[in-house]
Amino acid sequence: MKSVPFSVSLIFMSGFYLFCNAEAPIADASKTSAPAGTLPPNELGKIPILTYHKIADENTEYTRSRESYANDLVLLKKHGFYPVSLSELRTGKITTPKGKIPVLITYDDSSETHFKYEADGSLSPGCAVEIMERFQKKNSDFPLRGVFFVLPKAAYPNNFFGQTELIGKKMKYLTDRGFEIGSHTLWHANLRKYRHKIEEQLALGTYEIQKYVKNYPVYAFALPYGIFPPKEDEPRLRSGTYKGRHYKHEMIFDYSNGLSHSVYDAKFDTYHIRRLHGNEKTLAKLFRQATTQKHIFFVSDGDPNTVTVKKSDAERVRLKPGQKLATY
């Protein structure tokens, strides 16, 4: 049976596709950032995991304008957020500096607007990677981190960042710089509808990523549309085999628009990790919370081997191997 093209199955892809070719202005966040270490550690607080889709001309539910996206980075830094990696959340060895709030930035659907090259081999001005790099050059204390949940076999422009002859080069570029890659199925299959294709979608999704980076550990998976299959099928999301090809997902991400529990919290469920929508409404709320409700967030103690929480939260803590608990 022929695969359903991704662009046909998504309402939000129905608009014009806009090339990422306009330079987004970036303000200098170093002049506006909050002083480091001003918040007490609270490592059982919530962690924001942002989900961006297209980075293009305007703000819609599934598109962030280049200008707004660039400004999000400025505001994240200003409010004391600090990019964390997937692998840090997996191991619990969080290296976020003392007083900062870890934020995981994720990008779904491997749109060409995330990563595009010009004919001369330079990054296209205004694609997400270019905007991030430009921001990082001016803000050395805001590391380049992000997770791309990719669709290797979707229709253009979501087919593994669009330029098929450059997939290998892009994957090397991303993984060399510390960006991370996760699976988002092969072509954005709704796994409730395509229950019979779960193993095929997931095994081949991993296989296609590892074609470009040998043995790349694909342990993270984001559900298309955030839609889970029926409960009895959920174990099939975690590991399986299709025609001799295997997959094993230790972290499964939803699209529920909630803040994630701390990875040390007994309530944290690695197979249902909450993500926020990277759109105007949710980001505005996040920045409001960062202004008026800072106590709800995970604030790092700066020591990856110690988990520091309020005494009243101690019972809920689940330490990772080699870690010790500190309370106050």
Residues that bind Zn ion (CB under 5 A): 108-109, 224
Cα–Cα distance list, 308 to 59, 99, 268 (Å): 38, 12, 17
How far, in Å, CA of 222 to CA of 148, rounded? 10
Residue 305 beta carbon to Zn ion: minimum distance, rounded to whole angstroms: 36
Residue 227 beta carbon to Zn ion: minimum distance, rounded to whole angstroms: 10
Residue 224 beta carbon to Zn ion: minimum distance, rounded to whole angstroms: 5
How far, in Å, CA of 8 to CA of 16, rounded? 13
How far, in Å, CA of 36 to CA of 228, rounded? 39
Is the distance from CB of 96 to CB of 300 less than 8 angstroms?
yes
Is the distance from CB of 198 to CB of 229 less than 8 angstroms?
yes
Select 100 or 275, whichever has its Cβ closest to Zn ion: 275
Select 81 or 115, whichever has its Cβ closest to Zn ion: 115
Select 99 or 224, whichever has its Cβ closest to Zn ion: 224
Cβ of 287: how many Cβ atoms within 10 Å?
Answer: 16
Select 39 or 202, whichever has its Cβ closest to Zn ion: 202
How far, in Å, CA of 176 to CA of 189, rounded? 29
Select 37 or 226, whichever has its Cβ closest to Zn ion: 226
Residue 257 beta carbon to Zn ion: minimum distance, rounded to whole angstroms: 14
- How is residue 271 written in tokens? 């197979």
How far, in Å, CA of 29 to CA of 261, rounded? 28
Residue 100 beta carbon to Zn ion: minimum distance, rounded to whole angstroms: 29
- Phi and psi at 230, nearest 5°, equal -55, 150
Select 9 or 124, whichever has its Cβ closest to Zn ion: 9
Cβ of 267: how many Cβ atoms within 10 Å?
Answer: 10
Select 7 or 96, whichever has its Cβ closest to Zn ion: 7
Residue 109 beta carbon to Zn ion: minimum distance, rounded to whole angstroms: 4
How far, in Å, CA of 200 to CA of 7, rounded? 20
Residue of this chain nearest to Zn ion (CB atom): 108
Name the nearest CA neighbour of 118 among 103, 101, 130: 130
Residue 22 beta carbon to Zn ion: minimum distance, rounded to whole angstroms: 24
